[in-house]
Amino acid sequence: MMDHSRWIHELNDNEIAEIEAATELTLRAGLPVMEIEAEDFPLPVLAAKILRLREDCTDRYGFGYLRGLPVERYDYDTLTRIYWGLSRHLGDPVPQNRNGHLIGHVIDIGDDVNNVNIRLTQTAAALDFHSDACDLVGLMCLNTAMEGGESALVSGVAVHDEMMRRDADLCHCLYEPVVVDRRGEIPAGKHPWMQIPVFMWDGTGFTGYAPLNAYIESAKRFQDAPPTSDAQRAAIRLFLDICNDPAFALKIPFQRGDLQYVHNHLVFHARTSYVDWPEAALKRHLMRIWLSLPEGRELHPALAERWVNIARGTVRGGVNIPDRKPLNIPPRPDTPAFG
């Protein structure tokens, strides 16, 4: 797995030129970013590499990278158009938050990490291993931190099997629903908390869903939520210990111009805390996109508690709540995820 050449696909000059030409085509056609489909962003030279990237995510490693996009050449609007156009060759974007954002920004905007109404991605704090509510999550690196901010990935299957080896009883605890704070993203008719297993298995195979531990802890504020048992807490501790074990976790320093895509049902992702640059223009900044895969796998019914719609062959996942704002792309990178 440490042979990075297997899953990092370097962009060459011809492929970069093709990306720029496709971007120019969408501008000449007068297409708003959200209306760009894969066929509007033709990439015949890059097509084979994108196919390998998709197969890396769905059939091989559970993740993959494109590396070497010269992000310093482009303004914010052009970067948004490029990121959207490339990602449309992998799947359908879905909303990431209650503001209806189809492209989000992982950037420290100074939010208090103890505020239960914000996402930790808007701080410089470490993020435990977790999953997002989509088939594929993408991150494009525009700037790296002065120190820290490493991405980390771990195989859900490998963590499950190691838990079974170390303590089968605790592993079985994570097949039972865990109570998680929804952080204000509440689907119609649902509680402000949800119950969802970490490990799921049915006739279609293994599915993993890792909630942030901070969201498990903050669910205690709801008096009507079932309490997390001592056994579940011990199971979560063991789960995170294994996720963070260097024998299982792969830490990857982002480079400017990296595009990382991760399959949420098989691989959990995390990041280390970081220290940012004092200059605002240099702050660590990742663009994020959540994608529904048109050829996505069957999903365990328990995921409907978070996703609402899990039907294969549909645009599924994302944040689906009654008060969600219309779908949009934020005009500024520092737009809060929650408004």
> Domain map of the chain by residue range?
4-154+251-307
pLDDT confidence of residue 275: 81
Confidence of residue 339 (pLDDT cuts 50, 70, 90): very low
Q: Which residue has the higher pLDDT, 337 or 151?
A: 151
Question: Using CA atoms, how far apart are residues 104 and 184, in angstroms rounded to an integer?
Answer: 18
pLDDT in tens, 168-186: 999 999 999 999 999 999 9
Go through the chain and tell me how many residues it has.
339
pLDDT in tens, 36-79: 999 999 999 999 999 999 999 999 999 999 999 999 999 999 99
The mean per-residue pLDDT over the stretch 314-318 comes to: 96
The answer for residues whose C-beta is within 8 angstroms of residue 102's C-beta and 6 or more apart is 34, 84, 93, 94, 95, 96, 289, 327, 328, 329
Confidence of residue 294 (pLDDT cuts 50, 70, 90): confident
Mean pLDDT of the chain: 92
- Angle subtended at Cα 239 by Cα 233 and Cα 242, rounded to the nearest 5 degrees: 145
Tokens 């490339």 correspond to: 86
The mean per-residue pLDDT over the stretch 301-311 comes to: 95
Question: Using CA atoms, how far apart are residues 313 and 217, in angstroms rounded to an integer?
Answer: 35
**In CATH, what is the architecture of 4-154+251-307?**
4-Layer Sandwich (3.60)
Tokens 């109570």 correspond to: 179
DSSP H stretches of helix in 112-250: 156-166, 168-173, 213-218, 230-244
Query: What's the token pair of residue 269?
Result: 């992702």
CA quadruple 316, 113, 163, 177: dihedral positive or negative?
negative
DSSP state of 74: S
Q: Which residue has the higher pLDDT, 296 or 190?
A: 190
Q: Is the pTM of this model over 0.75?
A: yes
Confidence of residue 204 (pLDDT cuts 50, 70, 90): confident
Question: Using CA atoms, how far apart are residues 316 and 326, in angstroms rounded to an integer?
Answer: 16
Q: At how many degrees (to 10) do helices 230-244 and 156-166 cross?
A: 120
Q: Where are the beta strands (DSSP E) in 174-243?
A: 178-181, 193-196, 199-202, 205-208
Q: Which residue has the higher pLDDT, 193 or 121?
A: 193
The mean per-residue pLDDT over the stretch 307-315 comes to: 94
Confidence of residue 121 (pLDDT cuts 50, 70, 90): low
The helix (H) or strand (E) run that includes residue 274 is: strand 274-275
The answer for residues whose C-beta is within 8 angstroms of residue 289's C-beta and 6 or more apart is 83, 84, 87, 93, 96, 102, 103, 104, 137, 138, 140
Confidence of residue 3 (pLDDT cuts 50, 70, 90): low
- SS3 string, 76-96, reads HHHHHHHHHHHHCCCCEEECC
Confidence of residue 337 (pLDDT cuts 50, 70, 90): low
Question: Using CA atoms, how far apart are residues 199 and 167, in angstroms rounded to an integer?
Answer: 15
Question: Using CA atoms, how far apart are residues 19 and 68, in angstroms rounded to an integer?
Answer: 12
Confidence of residue 119 (pLDDT cuts 50, 70, 90): low
pLDDT in tens, 188-199: 999 999 999 999
Evaluate if residue 252 carries a pLDDT over 90.
no
Q: Percent of the chain beyond pLDDT 70?
A: 92
Q: Percent of the chain beyond pLDDT 90?
A: 78
- SS3 string, 286-300, reads EEEEEEECCCCCCCC
Evaluate if residue 238 carries a pLDDT over 70.
yes
Confidence of residue 125 (pLDDT cuts 50, 70, 90): confident
The helix (H) or strand (E) run that includes residue 155 is: strand 151-155
pLDDT confidence of residue 149: 78
Q: How far, CA to CA in Å, does 33 sit from each of 80, 81, 117?
A: 8, 6, 29
Question: Using CA atoms, how far apart are residues 180 and 216, in angstroms rounded to an integer?
Answer: 5
